[in-house]
Structure 1
């Protein structure tokens, strides 16, 4: 297929991202008059694939505008069809990470390609698109790209949340920390594996 088949552990990403959003000071009823022109929450699913994460966000937060972005037009066709089937309104954008997007966002979530190029399991996953799986030599290329640029698209205090490989939690946390993200958390999936890592951006580049 043209998209990655959603895994059960992706539910943990959605749950933790929504929890982080609820805990921050960006809830609609807590907005100050200084940003009254942006009263609606904007949530971004970066590398949306089938749209599963964007759909879950939209159903959990019907008060928000949800944007699903992907470099693959074929993936976006599938995502749009899934949204239509469920009757969920989502804005779809063709984009290589942030290339065609405009902030600010109150939450950015991503389940990017994270399998290392030399991982022997990569060859076994022939039924899924390589672009949705392979993450460069160490599996972290997409994380580096997203973490580098994300601050320019996040509101002050907004979370950036990732799903990652079973052995990548420390590396992803280090990337977030070195870029200046704060309140970094890692969460286990149902199998007890560290699968989701997130941080908040409070730096000067934020909206």
Structure 2
């Protein structure tokens, strides 16, 4: 079979479990060939079918996330390596970077950035790519996740600007930051999730107690001492958590604003010191 035939067959195989079956097939084919998707599509009738493509399709048909199969995920302006040690970066999380870009518009941008729960490094490294003179700290409890984040920092040429540290949220961090980013686990413990998520992504990066608020209760009290005047914290939340997390932030004397994702859900809460001008 040639590549167009293999793509049609693969898309049909994946259609029962993926809403993007054709795209999945194309990305898997490009990965198997070791080239970009656009290049593959342009040259598909001239290329020899690659070994191993069928095995990749079967992994995807079995529910394994595409990003874990290909080992990479695009986020904001960067491409990240991802492994099952880290949560796969979602487009919704780019809402936090968008909020920060708007906040610092017309300024030199943040100088110091803190990412609480750095995972793959997505938020911190995207911010460092956005503001090339900034430096930052990424904190995570998982040494495996930190290994992925450090490797991504090296691959993106940011190893000297991104200090990845083992830590328990903000414990032991004393300096102040212009921008704080946080995408903590926020899913309630008994939530029913899609098979590709629950079977493959790290549960420690997903679940946060009976009401999903355990980590916000840890993070919120630290923000007033960590933020510089004029700085901001961008915090990702679940679609129905704006009131509950907003109340936790307001109880610390912070002013709170909301930011919606492309789906129209409140995805990011923006926290600032109450003394800062609106």
Aligned partners of 2:115 and 2:157: how far apart in 1?
A: 18
Aligned partners of 2:170 and 2:104: how far apart in 1?
A: 20
- Number of matched residues? 189
Aligned partners of 1:60 and 1:51: how far apart in 2?
A: 14
Aligned partners of 1:164 and 1:22: how far apart in 2?
A: 24
TM norm structure 1: 0.84
Is 1:172 the counterpart of 2:240? The answer is no
Partner of 1:2: 85
CA contact (8 A) 2:137 2:164 kept: yes
What is the Cα deviation at residue 157 of structure 1?
3.4
In the alignment, structure 2 segments of 5+ residues that lack a partner are: 1-83
* TM alignment of 1:102-181, pairs within 5 A: 102-121=174-193, 125-181=198-254
Is 1:86 the counterpart of 2:156? The answer is yes
Aligned partners of 2:233 and 2:91: how far apart in 1?
A: 20
TM norm structure 2: 0.64
Aligned partners of 2:172 and 2:151: how far apart in 1?
A: 22
Partner of 1:15: 98
Partner of 2:26: none
Aligned partners of 1:141 and 1:64: how far apart in 2?
A: 30
* TM alignment of 1:4-83, pairs within 5 A: 4-22=87-105, 41-83=111-153
CA contact (8 A) 2:180 2:234 kept: yes
Listed one character per residue, the Cα deviations across residues 102-135 of structure 1 (whole Å, up to 9, x for unaligned) are 3111111100000011212287512111111111
Aligned partners of 2:241 and 2:270: how far apart in 1?
A: 13
Aligned partners of 1:122 and 1:17: how far apart in 2?
A: 30
What is the Cα deviation at residue 188 of structure 1?
1.1
CA contact (8 A) 1:58 1:64 kept: yes
Helix, strand or coil: the match of 1:166?
coil
In the alignment, structure 1 segments of 5+ residues that lack a partner are: 30-39
CA contact (8 A) 1:157 1:202 kept: no
CA contact (8 A) 1:95 1:101 kept: no
CA contact (8 A) 1:76 1:92 kept: yes
Is 1:196 the counterpart of 2:268? The answer is yes
Q: Which has the larger radius of gyration?
A: 2
